[in-house]
Amino acid sequence: MVGLVVPSDNEDLLNASGANTAYSPFIIAMRLAGIKVLPSIFNAVITISVLSVANSCAYGSTRTMQALAQTGMAPKFMAYVDKQGRPIWCVVIQLAFGLLAFVNEKAVGSTFFNWLLALSGLANFVSNFEDDASAAARPLCRRCDVYATMALPHPSQPSRKPAAKLCYALLRPPQRR
């Protein structure tokens, strides 16, 4: 709908660069409609939404790091929680990684973020490789040579079928002879 309201040769669209909300097609459409206060309200809603997402991510990331530390999958110092229930060291780590966003202000910012993107892709590849390797290393049932896996697919991958069904011989108690 915005494409129908804003002409394609609008000067504000042609001069837009980066994340400048003054040249957003929605803001241009509101200015062309002659509504003076609506662009400011729209920008305030976008700002509040961004702050809400940042707050949610800060909460989720710190609690995830703390839970990983409690289960032994991260360094033990990250499991510390103060009297008010805040994982202090996880908050410090999360804020330190948040400061990496300011690297983009330098000329080498895009190169740095390309490296981070490559590292995250590599981490995804390695984690999937480890999942497949651990599935191949599961113990076999001695009676029927079936992998001892659940018959239900994993919740994170509902379309993926399990490697094998659970051997029901493992569920039965041993019989006396």
Inside any domain, residue 28: no
Q: Report the pLDDT averaged over residues 146-166.
A: 46
Domain that holds residue 152: 132-177
Q: Would you call 82 helix, strand, or coil by DSSP?
A: coil
The residues, any chain, with a CB within 8 Å of residue 71's CB and separated by 6 or more, are: none
Inside any domain, residue 15: no
Inside any domain, residue 69: yes
Q: Report the pLDDT averaged over residues 57-65.
A: 92
Inside any domain, residue 31: no
The residue among 88, 114, 140 that closes a domain is 114
> What local confidence, expressed as pLDDT, does residue 76 receive?
93
- Is 143 found in the same domain as 100? no
- Is 107 found in the same domain as 136? no
- Is 95 found in the same domain as 141? no
Q: Report the pLDDT averaged over residues 63-74.
A: 91
Residue 167 clears pLDDT 50, i.e. is over it: no
Q: Report the pLDDT averaged over residues 93-115.
A: 87
Confidence band, pLDDT 50/70/90 cuts, at residue 170: very low
Residue 174 clears pLDDT 60, i.e. is over it: no
- Is 73 found in the same domain as 110? yes
Inside any domain, residue 30: no
> For residue 63, which of 43, 38, 45, 81 has the smallest C-alpha distance?
81
Q: Report the pLDDT averaged over residues 14-33.
A: 73
The CA distance from 44 to 158, in Å, is 39
Q: Name the DSSP letter for residue 140.
A: B
> What local confidence, expressed as pLDDT, does residue 150 receive?
42
- Is 144 found in the same domain as 177? yes
Name the residue type at position 76: K
- Is 96 found in the same domain as 68? yes
Q: Name the DSSP letter for residue 86.
A: -
Inside any domain, residue 79: yes
Distance from CA of residue 147 to its chain's centroid? 32
- The number of distinct structural domains making up the chain is 2
Q: Return the number of other C-beta atoms located less than 10 Å from residue 147's C-beta.
A: 17
Inside any domain, residue 11: no
Residue 159 clears pLDDT 70, i.e. is over it: no
pLDDT above 90 covers a percentage of the chain that reads 26
Return phi, psi of residue 80, to 5°: -65, 130
Structure tokens at 149: 């896996």
> What local confidence, expressed as pLDDT, does residue 52 receive?
96
The CA distance from 144 to 167, in Å, is 8
- Is 109 found in the same domain as 73? yes
54-63: long-range contacts, CB 8 A cutoff, minimum separation 24: 58/91, 58/94, 58/98, 61/90, 61/94, 62/86, 62/87, 62/90, 62/91, 62/94, 63/87, 63/90
CB 170 within 8 A of CB 141: yes
- Is 107 found in the same domain as 72? yes
- pTM score of the predicted model: 0.54
Name the residue type at position 51: L
Per mean pLDDT, which of 20-24, 65-69, 107-111, 155-159 is the most reliable? 65-69
Confidence band, pLDDT 50/70/90 cuts, at residue 51: very high
Confidence band, pLDDT 50/70/90 cuts, at residue 87: very high
Inside any domain, residue 172: yes
Q: Report the pLDDT averaged over residues 155-161.
A: 50
